[in-house]
Amino acid sequence: MLYNLHPSSEVKESNRFMTDTTQKPSRELTMKDFFREENGEVVPVDESVLIDFKDGDIVEGEVVRIDRDEVLVDIGYKSEGLVPSNELTIRKGADPHDVVELGQRLEALVMQKEDADGRLILSAKRAAFERAWNRIEDAYNDQRTVEGPVIEVVKGGLILDIGLRGFLPASLVDIRRVRNLDSFLGQRLECKVIELNRSRNNVVLSRRAVLEEERKEERERILTSLEEGMIVRGTVSNLVDFGAFVDLEGIDGLIHISELSWQHVDHPSEVVEVGEVGEQIHGRVTKLVSFGAFVEVADGVEGLIHISELADHHVETPDEIVRSGDEVDARIIDVDARRRRLSLSLRPKREEREERPRREERPRREPEQRGTPDRRSSEGSGLRSGAFDALADLDLEER
């Protein structure tokens, strides 16, 4: 049998574009050595120079263009990959310019190698999801925590960015019931993964589990220090048919319904309210915001009267009830030492509201004149750093 030892003209033609890496090139290679223009399109001289991938693969490339509704990524294919803005990040309505920048290396999952218009369609958020899922699954199996910022407040809880959308139910945000979930927006929270469902891409988180572990030692200390007959102070954390739970800053105690009053009580809500502390405190209104009024109750200590606590009737804007500079006597309804927040109320206690006849609605006050902004801003809500210790002077005992 004879063998032709000379390559055919076809083989010679295809080898004409290959580079001998053992020889020093006579000139620097450019893109023209690998691509040419044909009918107005850039096509490869040799298809073998293209990367090989399929739908569902994760590829990496360089961001070469950013538009309002899409981002173009060069992954070394015959055409640039297109990432629609809704496939760029899990944050809804985000501007692509705030997410990526030109020249940035970006991982993306191939959704369609070629759509009806011949475009390569990619998804950066789905690539991030695939990477994050494995990490979160490992954390779940090893009972480790995950961390991420709160990006949305939704019905029933919060959404955290942990590489994917993690749901934190309102009941698991804190040890005690949280009145205002909006205050967590933008905060980074450490949580435990308590539920995973890959078929629904569902991840449920619990911050309460992390806080309870942190307070385990404190609970043990409190239990060993408690003695029968001691008088202790706490905050009503929950009401049930058979009584009221009281948070002693580390452990919950139960006041049975029979011990709430010397008189007969049909339900604990007749005697106490969730979050009740009850101390009266004098302060000066320092700033009005859309959701309430800030009150300085001591040097460097501010509390918030939420708009729903300004009066026992509906209030449209805080300036209907108070103005900046007003002196008020408010009732403390919640002290959150961990988040350094003091919540106040101008509403009377439940028993006082029930005893007195319904009064006429308070006349609407003229809106406050807009002038030079107060030096305190809404970003300074709650208690200033280092000032919370001043509460000790307010006869709140250990609270």
pLDDT recorded at residue 42: 58
pLDDT reading at 393 higher than 50: no
**Residues 16, 21, 25: CA angle, nearest 5 degrees:** 75
Report the 10 Å Cβ neighbour count for 287: 21
Lowest mean pLDDT among 17-21, 60-64, 86-90: 17-21
- Taking Cα atoms as reference points, which of 297, 358, 353 lies closest to residue 329? 297
Top-confidence residue, 145 or 219: 145
Distance from chain centroid for Cα 119: 35
For residue 43, what pLDDT band results from cuts at 50, 70 and 90? low
Assess contact for 110 and 54: CB atoms under 8 A: yes
pLDDT recorded at residue 353: 52
User: What is the SS3 assignment for 128?
Assistant: helix
pLDDT recorded at residue 80: 86
- Rounded CA-CA distance 394/298 in Å is 8
* φ, ψ at 350 (rounded to 5°): -55, -45
C-alpha to C-alpha distances, 250 to 134, 213, 229, 247, nearest whole angstrom: 35, 11, 19, 7
CATH classification (class only), 280-357+379-394:
mainly beta
pLDDT reading at 269 higher than 50: yes
pLDDT tens, residue by residue, 183-233? 898 899 999 999 998 888 889 999 999 988 887 777 777 778 888 877 777
Name, in order, each residue with C-beta under 8 angstroms of 262's C-beta and a sequence gap of 6 or more: none
Question: In three state form, how does the secondary structure of 290-323 look?
Answer: CCEEEEEEECCEEEEEEHHHCCCCCCCCHHHCCC
Q: Which amino acid is at 93?
A: G
Share of the chain above pLDDT 90, in %: 21
**Residues 275, 279, 284: CA angle, nearest 5 degrees:** 105
Q: Which amino acid is at 52?
A: D
Output the average pLDDT for the chain.
Answer: 76
User: Tokens 């490869």 correspond to what residue?
Assistant: 44
For residue 284, what pLDDT band results from cuts at 50, 70 and 90? very high
pLDDT recorded at residue 331: 84
pLDDT recorded at residue 342: 81
pLDDT recorded at residue 385: 39
Share of the chain above pLDDT 70, in %: 71
Helices (H), the chain: 9-15, 96-99, 124-141, 208-214, 216-225, 350-355
DSSP category for residue 266: S
pLDDT recorded at residue 355: 52
Assess contact for 42 and 78: CB atoms under 8 A: yes
49-123 fold: OB fold (Dihydrolipoamide Acetyltransferase, E2P) (2.40.50)
The structure tokens listed for 181 are 């979930």
The domain 143-213 is placed in CATH, from the list 3.40.50.300, 3.40.50.2300, 2.40.50.140, 3.90.1180.10, at: 2.40.50.140
For residue 255, what pLDDT band results from cuts at 50, 70 and 90? confident
For residue 50, what pLDDT band results from cuts at 50, 70 and 90? low
pLDDT reading at 18 higher than 60: no
pLDDT reading at 344 higher than 80: yes
Name, in order, each residue with C-beta under 8 angstroms of 248's C-beta and a sequence gap of 6 or more: 222, 232, 233, 234
For residue 338, what pLDDT band results from cuts at 50, 70 and 90? low
Top-confidence residue, 336 or 23: 336
For residue 31, what pLDDT band results from cuts at 50, 70 and 90? low
Mean pLDDT within 24-28 = 54
Q: Which amino acid is at 162?
A: I
- CATH code 2.40.50.140 region(s) in the chain: 49-123, 143-213, 215-225+232-270, 280-357+379-394
Assess contact for 245 and 252: CB atoms under 8 A: yes
* φ, ψ at 54 (rounded to 5°): -140, 170
Mean pLDDT within 289-312 = 87
CATH classification (class only), 215-225+232-270:
mainly beta
pLDDT recorded at residue 54: 77
For residue 248, what pLDDT band results from cuts at 50, 70 and 90? confident
pLDDT tens, residue by residue, 355-389? 544 444 444 455 444 444 444 443 334 444 344 55
Q: Which of 3-7, 43-47, 158-162 has the highest mean pLDDT?
A: 158-162
The structure tokens listed for 83 are 């990432």
- Rounded CA-CA distance 247/208 in Å is 14
pLDDT recorded at residue 4: 39
Mean pLDDT within 95-124 = 87
